[in-house]
Amino acid sequence: MFGLGLPELIVIFVIALIVFGPKKLPELGKALGKGIAEFKRATEEVKETIQSEVRAAENSIELSKIKEDIEGKQQEPKKDGVAPGSAPEGTTGAADQTSQEPAKEKEKASDAYGKA
């Protein structure tokens, strides 16, 4: 831990016994133990608080990214003033329908092969 072995601990104990006396030594040991326990408890609380704040910050960053993605997809730019998937003014949309038909046929064919 701090390079304290058994001989060092015995020397510290003997010095404490001489300085404080046999009557006060148990009280000091109890107070020291309570102080160390309280210090550990306080450091754990601080550690948990920091971890929860970091998690909350990460979640808020992720939420803001998701909101930006959703807003960006809702506000996709229109080409030539026409919304995606709609026919330009003055056309019937027949060209769009014919271009979509081969794609639908390909999907049906791939579904048939995938099911077999």
Q: For the chain, which residues score pLDDT lower than 70? A: 1-2, 76-116
List of long-range contacts for 26-30, beta carbons under 8 Å, 24+ apart = none
pLDDT at 111: 53
CB-CB contact of 40 with 32 (8 Å) = no
Cα-based distances in Å from 76 to 79, 80, 83: 9, 13, 9
Whole-number Å distance between alpha carbons of 18 and 11: 11
pLDDT digits (tens, 9 = 90+) for 60-81: 999 888 888 888 888 766 555 5
Angle formed at CA 113 by CA 109 and CA 115, multiple of 5 degrees: 115
- Domain-wise residue ranges, the chain: 26-73
Q: What is the DSSP letter of 78?
A: P
pLDDT of residue 92: 53
